[in-house]
Structure 1
Amino acid sequence: MMRALVFACGLGIATVAQAQAPADYSTAKRQADADEASLPASEAGALRDAQRLALDAAIAGCATPTADTAPFVVVAELDAGGKVVRTWREGGTPLAICVQKRIRDSTLSAPPRAPFFISFELSFTP
């Protein structure tokens, strides 16, 4: 009986967590903007450094000499340990899609709370 109760409680928690996840890119981006703006300067700097490392690795693995460099944005949801658990993307170029896939497999620094949303906004200039 106790095992069934624990399992049922676990399912309830998972359902609540999934219900809170943004349904679309726009909602996730607004949440990322709010979460990033809420950070004190010291934490914001550490998070930016972690984002830069993840983005550098993604770009290095995705870039090609003829890549379409149209601007794009990837929003990521982080868990308590900094692991990316979900992503959203605005922009449909092959580079944007590849970067999203690589970011999805990333772990950044642990955020101050979870879930925590961040965005990677890319635009390329010649």
Structure 2
Amino acid sequence: MMRGILFAWVLSATSLAHAQSPTDYSDAKRRADADEASLPAASASALRDAQGSALEAAIAGCATPTADTSPFVVVAELDASGKVVRTWREGGTPLAICVQKRINGSTLSAPPRAPFFTSFELSFTR
């Protein structure tokens, strides 16, 4: 009996841990990598298209002629409708901060489950 109760508690604790929102960028990025890798090809393509549109709008609103174009990453948590409900960022340039603010609250394509995590990884070449 005790073994069954312990197993049920471990199983529910594991489910709860997965349902909780990440506490930092590293956790969020791991979740994004796993969620993106789980997508079938057609869904992954639709997500990339939606990310491209959101990113294009963010960059257009944030870019300046002298922007620091150091690489950065923004991880986004999507709800069931595809709305970005939370973001995390690696990189502290003004451009990275502005892009994160513009992505937060935008809407991508509806994910197969919620929450769903995805990342925008940016590097610029001249």
Following superposition, the deviation at residue 75 of structure 1 comes to 0.1
Cα shift readout 1:69-105 (whole Å, capped 9, x = no counterpart)? 0000000000000000000000000000000000002
**TM-score under structure 2 normalisation?**
0.85
Equivalent pairs: percent with the same residue?
A: 85
Residues 1:111 and 2:111 are matched in the alignment: yes
Per the alignment, residue 92 of structure 1 pairs with 92
**TM-score under structure 1 normalisation?**
0.85
Following superposition, the deviation at residue 30 of structure 1 comes to 0.4
Q: 1:16-31, aligned counterparts within 5 Å? A: 20-31=20-31
What count of residue pairs does the alignment treat as equivalent? 110
Paired AA for residue 43 in structure 1: S
- CA distance in structure 2 between the aligned counterparts of 1:108 and 1:79, rounded to whole angstroms: 10
Per the alignment, residue 46 of structure 1 pairs with 46
Could you say what secondary structure the match of 1:88 adopts? strand
Could you say what secondary structure the match of 1:117 adopts? strand
Structure 1 unaligned segments of length 5 or more: list them: 1-15
Could you say what secondary structure the match of 1:121 adopts? strand
Structure 2 unaligned segments of length 5 or more: list them: 1-15
Could you say what secondary structure the match of 1:98 adopts? helix
- CA distance in structure 1 between the aligned counterparts of 2:47 and 2:68, rounded to whole angstroms: 27
The ranges of structure 1 where at least 4 consecutive aligned residues each deviate by more than 2 angstroms after the TM superposition are: none
